[in-house]
């Protein structure tokens, strides 16, 4: 695919293509007014921590980073002992789209579990933790789920709780990759806490970049006791010394790991400002709701086209379909998108917070025209 594109590009390739929401720009401008203490000791960063406690629970704290890959690696490092492994769906982003970072940088073995729809279940987890205590096997230390999943499906709060109970019964923590956490909240019509903290998740990432941010993600610790790395923090390493509680130790451990992972921003306030803006008045959920709505509009519009087969009903902002590769190539000239499974002629169309009805109409028109051109006369 050529990198040169005409002005006015409207893509369905990834929600990463979308720009920055005006409220996020405004929040960064507000944070830009004067000097501020670096490395997270500024008022904007303090306000973010207060908001995170309000949204996720009193014991929660956020560790902002630049990328979703960094959030995943940092979270798994914090939760996994040297002999531990991570149980995850075979279709997960961890396995297919992190460039080997969890294994290479986090030194974390991944155990892929086949699933029918991208979602782990309690039964699937139980089947993959049977070698606990067997010295010749890596020990399942973390169960990882994504919300929404790589296949565009969404876990209900009850489904998250079932997986959390299975993980905890096996002595493992539950980590939720929340690159599209706001899309899941919008799809479920639930506050973020309802299917994270209240459903037994130990650590979650919060995605801002795909949802109106410039480049900001966060690891949010919900259950400090689950942070294995915190047990390695001695009294001299944490403010409070011997009197430090689990939350203090977890914060210290994540701080050290984040620095080693090269994710500690000196001008931390600009990361915090983005995340704070998205969490304030549920802006992030409102933006994700628009992306989800456009996904449904797109799916409904293409469902009646001869030559298009929807792979599954969209639950968030991802639409998967099968169509002729030549048709796909023609439509990409106007509206870029990616193959999902080229061998099966399956593509993925992503809608974004700034996708409009006019964008969908233009895409459907291009698709219909390409289908007509390929139809035998």
| pLDDT at 6 > cutoff 70 | no
Rounded-to-integer distance, Cα 20 and Cα 24, Å: 7
Task: List the domain range (segments joined by +) for residue 35.
Answer: 23-281
Check whether residue 191 and residue 43 sit in a common domain. yes
Helix ranges (DSSP H) in 97-244: 101-104, 122-127, 157-169, 181-188
CA 99 to chain centre: 16
Following DSSP, what letter does each residue of 299-329 receive, concatenated? HHHHHTSTT-EESS--SSSEEEEE--HHHHH
Bridge partners, 143 (sequence order): 87, 174
Please compute the mean of the pLDDT values over residues 232-245 and round it to a whole number: 77
CA 247 to chain centre: 24
CATH value at residue 299: 3.90.1150.10
pLDDT mean across residues, the chain: 94
Check whether residue 292 and residue 306 sit in a common domain. yes
Check whether residue 273 and residue 134 sit in a common domain. yes
Q: Are 156 and 199 in contact (CB under 8 A)?
A: no
Please compute the mean of the pLDDT values over residues 110-135 and round it to a whole number: 92
What's the distance, Cα to Cα, between the start and end of the chain in Å?
29
Check whether residue 159 and residue 290 sit in a common domain. no
Domain assignment of residue 4, yes or no: no
Please compute the mean of the pLDDT values over residues 174-180 and round it to a whole number: 98
326-369 pLDDT tens trace: 999 999 999 999 999 999 999 999 999 999 999 999 999 999 99
Q: 246, 281, 316 — which closes off a domain?
A: 281
CATH value at residue 62: 3.40.640.10
Domain assignment of residue 17, yes or no: no
Check whether residue 160 and residue 27 sit in a common domain. yes
Rounded-to-integer distance, Cα 180 and Cα 203, Å: 15
Q: Is the dihedral of CA 205, 277, 26, 290 positive or negative?
A: positive
Q: Are 22 and 185 in contact (CB under 8 A)?
A: no
Q: Are 279 and 217 in contact (CB under 8 A)?
A: no
Question: In this prediction, what percent of the chain has a pLDDT beyond 90?
Answer: 87
**HSE-up of residue 230 (Cα within 13 Å, Cβ side):** 20
pLDDT of residue 376: 67
């Amino acid at each position: 695919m050529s990198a040169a594109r005409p002005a006015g590009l409207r893509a369905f390739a990834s929600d990463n293509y979308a720009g920055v929401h005006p409220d996020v720009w405004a929040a960064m401008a507000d944070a830009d007014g004067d000097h501020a203490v670096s490395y997270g000791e500024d008022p904007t960063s303090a306000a973010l921590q207060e908001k995170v406690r309000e949204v996720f629970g009193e014991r929660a704290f956020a560790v902002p980073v630049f990328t979703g890959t960094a959030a995943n690696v940092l979270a798994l490092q914090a939760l996994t002992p040297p002999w531990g492994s991570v149980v995850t769906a075979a279709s997960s982003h961890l396995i297919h789209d992190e460039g080997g970072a969890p294994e290479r940088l986090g030194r974390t073995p991944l155990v892929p579990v086949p699933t029918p729809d991208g979602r782990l279940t309690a039964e699937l987890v139980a089947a993959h933790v049977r070698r606990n205590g067997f010295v010749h096997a890596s020990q399942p230390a973390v169960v990882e789920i994504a919300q929404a999943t790589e296949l565009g499906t969404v876990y209900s709060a009850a489904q998250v709780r079932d997986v959390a109970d299975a993980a905890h019964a096996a002595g493992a923590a539950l980590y939720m990759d929340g690159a599209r956490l706001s899309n899941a909240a919008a799809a479920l019509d639930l506050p973020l806490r309802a299917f994270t903290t209240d459903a037994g998740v130990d650590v979650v990432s919060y995605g801002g970049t795909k949802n109106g941010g410039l480049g900001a993600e966060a690891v949010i610790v919900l259950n400090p006791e689950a942070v294995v790395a915190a047990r390695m923090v001695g009294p001299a390493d944490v403010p409070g010394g011997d009197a430090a509680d689990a939350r203090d130790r977890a914060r210290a451990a994540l701080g050290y790991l984040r620095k080693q992972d090269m994710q500690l921003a000196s001008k931390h306030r600009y990361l915090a400002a983005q995340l704070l803006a998205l969490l304030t008045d549920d802006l992030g959920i409102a933006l994700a709701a628009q992306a989800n709505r456009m996904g449904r509009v797109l799916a409904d519009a293409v469902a009646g086209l001869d030559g298009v087969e929807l792979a599954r009903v969209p639950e968030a902002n991802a639409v998967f379909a099968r169509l002729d590769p030549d048709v796909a190539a023609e439509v990409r000239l106007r509206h870029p998108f990616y193959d999902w499974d080229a061998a099966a002629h399956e593509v993925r169309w992503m809608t974004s917070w700034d996708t409009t009805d006019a964008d969908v109409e233009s895409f459907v028109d291009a698709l219909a025209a390409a289908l007509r051109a390929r139809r035998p006369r």
